[in-house]
Amino acid sequence: MTQLKSNVGESAGGETHQTAQGNTPVLTTQQGVPVSDDQNTLRAGPRGPALLEDFHFREKLFHFDHERIPERVVHARGFGAHGFFESNGELGAVSRAAVFKKGEKTPTFVRFSTVAGSKGSADLARDVRGFATKFYTKEGNWDLVGNNIPVFFIQDPMKFPDMVHAFKEEPDRGFPQAATAHDNAWDFISLTPESMHMVMWVYSDRGIPRSFRFMEGFGVHTFRLVDAAGKSTFVKFHWKPKLGLQSVVWNEAVKINGADPDFHRRDLWDAIGAGTFPEWELGVQLFDDEFVKAFEFDVLDPTKIIPEEQIPVKIVGRMVLDRRVDNFFAETEQVAFCTQNVVPGIDFTDDPLLQGRNFSYLDTQLKRLGSPNFTHIPINAPKCPVMNFQQDGHMAMRNPKGRANYEPNSWGDAGGPREAPDRGYRSYSEPVEGTKVRARSETFADHYSQARQFYISQTPIEQTHIANALVFELSKVQTPAIRARMVSHLLNIDAGLADAVAKGLRLKEMPKPIPAVKPTRRDLKPSDKLSILKN
């Protein structure tokens, strides 16, 4: 056991002075000036007024007064760890990205999070979990900013602020802090049929993971991989936990939250400390234009999955989290993930939600971290050379050296970095044309079939859990019309589910199904069950 030592002395006033002796470092001000007394302010006589010239006191208070930065507008509560990703080379043929070369080991940083709660909320809320990974590759940082659920609530980023406002605390009363069990949340959901597939996942057992170590992760959107010749392959990313998928039910979650609201973060911290490093396999679903044309849903619609029966998941590497952070704020709090951080060999698609995200993260991080130079903070800095002519701004640590801060220039080798046409990032040359329009694609219109497919793929007890969770959450909704509207949606998913929820809520009469633009597929057979759920 570590011996707790203190070089203690007491002064006339009775306060404790621990002084630097032997190897103990000397306490200094931010300017490096050794401090003689950290217990008492400078004053005119022991009982006299404080003196303004006390620079040590003023600096200490000044710094303390400015310790807080804004919490993330969503995913405020999170916990991070360092690790590495090791590629098995399976993607080498379809992507030129260095991170996918056979045997390549890339350092990573992962932050897990809840979405709706504030920074101080409890870990075991029923909520989506963030699973964001920063790969510090040899060709720059690649961020896979995913969730533990493979679909999302909305199809268009225009709705994101409304969705988040509705899910977070109601503006007049400032609660609830971390639950979706309230009128505003269900009002928004029930007026947003595209969210029904996601609702099935969130109110299933997936909504309360046992710990981060037992969680899957998904990139959600369709991305592109691009090979050395410029050929593109569509891809969906999956993280598969080595420990398998495990969850807790609401009653367990309530107890755990009461006893230890830090349960998930403590679990990760303890596991890594004990050397039982959590591990995930990275899987991909790869497909081409032919599949896109043949698939019954639109691969650009983030409210849809591609069943593994149709495109199996291929394992392309593994990630191990083997190092705790040294400092929570410096690393977990200041890390800045962004979907637009891609590297040569990885590219976007026209998924509208993805394109909205590409704008939102950088924008919010300027506010959250306070300077365009947040990429200079060690947790965000690439671990490969970074050279460009961007300069100045608050906290600039990486200004161009020498005379050249522009290009082209005439200064030869002293003129700084230059373009690399052969190795540099090139966007995939996707042919694009269209008429400017503010509209949703018709191919995004079936909001119920995959929700139904998810529901019928659950075991009877899991189906009961979904019904119970919906009854429990909707019973907190005070507006009868909102409860009834939700049951109208459930009728489009499964009559038995709608019936169980209507009974649980003691609805006086069964409402009519919501008219669906594209009716739900009721012809799904047992063989249409999804094996994606059988982890």
Binding site for ligand HEM (CB under 6 A): 72-75, 78, 111, 113, 130, 132, 145-147, 152, 157, 160, 220, 302, 335-337, 353, 356-357, 360-361, 364-365, 368
User: With contact defined as beta carbons under 8 Å apart, do 354 and 303 qualify?
Assistant: no
Catalytic residue among 141, 147, 148, 373: 147
Which residue, 335 or 482, is less far from ligand HEM as judged by CB?
A: 335
Q: Is 111 annotated as a binding residue?
A: yes
Structure tokens at 406: 């522009």
CB of 73 to ligand HEM, least distance (A): 5
CB of 144 to ligand HEM, least distance (A): 9
- Residue 390 burial (CB < 10 Å; 0-12/13-18/19+)? middle
Which residue, 144 or 501, is less far from ligand HEM as judged by CB?
A: 144
CB of 360 to ligand HEM, least distance (A): 4
User: With contact defined as beta carbons under 8 Å apart, do 338 and 382 qualify?
Assistant: no
User: With contact defined as beta carbons under 8 Å apart, do 285 and 308 qualify?
Assistant: yes
Q: Which amino acid is at 235?
A: V
- Residue 14 burial (CB < 10 Å; 0-12/13-18/19+)? exposed
Backbone angles phi, psi at 280, to 5 degrees: -130, 150
Catalytic residue among 56, 75, 197, 465: 75
CB of 222 to ligand HEM, least distance (A): 12
Q: Is 75 a catalytic residue?
A: yes
Which residue, 302 or 416, is less far from ligand HEM as judged by CB?
A: 302
User: In the complex, which residue's CB is closest to ligand HEM?
Assistant: 130
Q: Is 213 annotated as a binding residue?
A: no
> What is the Cα–Cα distance from 414 to 261, expressed in whole angstroms?
56
> What is the Cα–Cα distance from 236 to 81, expressed in whole angstroms?
24
> What is the Cα–Cα distance from 440 to 420, expressed in whole angstroms?
39
SS3 sequence, 190-252? Answer: HCCHHHHHHHHHHCCHHHCECCHHHCCEECCCCEEEECCCCCEEEEEEEEEECCCCCECCHHH
Which residue, 74 or 97, is less far from ligand HEM as judged by CB?
A: 74
CB of 113 to ligand HEM, least distance (A): 5
Which residue, 148 or 190, is less far from ligand HEM as judged by CB?
A: 148
Q: Is 357 annotated as a binding residue?
A: yes
Half-sphere exposure of 516 (CA within 13 A, CB side): 21
CB of 531 to ligand HEM, least distance (A): 22
CB of 214 to ligand HEM, least distance (A): 17
Q: Which amino acid is at 147?
A: N
CB of 359 to ligand HEM, least distance (A): 8
Q: Is 361 annotated as a binding residue?
A: yes
Sorted by sequence, the CB contacts under 8 Å of residue 184 that are 6+ apart come out as 165, 166, 167, 170
Q: Is 72 annotated as a binding residue?
A: yes
Q: Count the neighbouring beta carbons within 10 Å of the beta carbon of residue 358.
A: 16
Q: Is 182 a catalytic residue?
A: no
Q: Which amino acid is at 139?
A: E
Which residue, 230 or 378, is less far from ligand HEM as judged by CB?
A: 378
> What is the Cα–Cα distance from 225 to 142, expressed in whole angstroms?
13
Q: Which amino acid is at 295?
A: F
Which residue, 147 or 285, is less far from ligand HEM as judged by CB?
A: 147
Which residue, 188 or 337, is less far from ligand HEM as judged by CB?
A: 337
Residue among 267, 381, 261 at smallest CA distance from 324:
267
Backbone angles phi, psi at 257, to 5 degrees: -60, -40
Q: Count the neighbouring beta carbons within 10 Å of the beta carbon of residue 449.
A: 23
Task: Give the catalytic positions in this structure.
Answer: 75, 147
Task: Indicate the annotated binding residues for heme.
Answer: 72, 111, 160, 357, 361, 368
